[in-house]
Amino acid sequence: DGGITQSPKYLFRKEGQNVTLSCEQNLNHDAMYWYRQDPGQGLRLIYYSQIVNDFQKGDIAEGYSVSREKKESFPLTVTSAQKNPTAFYLCATSDRAYSNQPQHFGDGTRLSIL
Amino acid sequence: AQSVAQPEDQVNVAEGNPLTVKCTYSVSGNPYLFWYVQYPNRGLQFLLKYITGDNLVKGSYGFEAEFNKSQTSFHLKKPSALVSDSALYFCAVRDGSAGNNRKLIWGLGTSLAVNP
């Protein structure tokens, strides 16, 4: 989706290291989301934010942290407490949380352990 | 509790044949239903949605879906499959009724393979 940029496309984490995944959007959407995708497990919600300076835990927030200081940006930090971080991470946006409009997705970041 | 089921992990069809990818759901209120497609190493792309109104919804790339309230289903269909339709398809549902749990719930995905 051209309006959502995730970087980097590939990321490698060393033992005990925190890494940060970037998500930037120019769609002027209020709501932003982070999902984790593992083979055969579909999409699992990590964190979401309905508005600047506010965010809520999703289903699998342990070992992750986020911030929402600007409307355009919702970075995800994978901390050393996340023992199994290898996955495909997807950022999404929607005009509002709980609306009838679809979510829009970036092209993902694939995180692997070195 | 809200849930979505995609009963088939994989669907195989021959090019030119009709395709169906199945989705059933459970919500306590009014369902908002969505279909997305994912190509390898890409994000999800929105195909179509049902919110209210006509039970047959038309979407992108020639796909359509039929909302069936009595069977709580929202199957994705296409009259003539293309090899380029081969991808992973996700169904998602949200309870649209105020006051209920309104989180978006995702199915586990169905891998569609269209054979030439």
Q: Does B58 touch chain A (CB under 8 A)?
A: no
Q: What are phi and psi of A106, to 5 degrees?
A: -80, 180
User: What is the distance between the alpha carbons of residues B22 and B20, in angstroms, rounded to a whole number?
Assistant: 6
* Contact call for A98 and B94, based on CB within 8 A: yes
Disruptive mutation site among A37, A38, A96 for chain B (greatest number of B CBs within 10 Å) = A37
What would the pLDDT profile of B27-48 be if each residue is shown by its tens digit? 988 899 999 999 999 999 999 9
Q: What are phi and psi of B104, to 5 degrees?
A: -80, 125
Chain B hits for A92, CB-CB cut-off 8 Å, are: 43-44
On the CB side of B112, how many CA atoms lie within 13 Å of its CA?
28
What would the pLDDT profile of A47-102 be if each residue is shown by its tens digit? 999 999 999 999 999 999 999 999 999 999 999 999 899 999 999 999 987 788 99
User: What is the distance between the alpha carbons of residues B84 and B67, in angstroms, rounded to a whole number?
Assistant: 25
What would the pLDDT profile of B55-71 be if each residue is shown by its tens digit? 999 999 999 999 999 99
DSSP character at residue B61:
G
Q: Among 3.30.450.20, 2.60.40.10, 1.10.3720.10, 3.40.50.2300, name the CATH number for the domain at B3-115.
A: 2.60.40.10
What would the pLDDT profile of A11-39 be if each residue is shown by its tens digit? 998 888 999 999 999 999 999 999 999 98
Strands A109-113, A10-13: parallel, antiparallel or unpaired by DSSP? parallel
Chain A hits for B41, CB-CB cut-off 8 Å, are: 88, 107-108, 110
Q: What is the residue whose two structure tokens read 């199994």?
A: A84
Report the share of chain A in percent with pLDDT over 70. 98
Q: What is the residue whose two structure tokens read 């549902």?
A: B93
CB A11 within 8 A of CB A87: no
CB B8 within 8 A of CB B22: yes
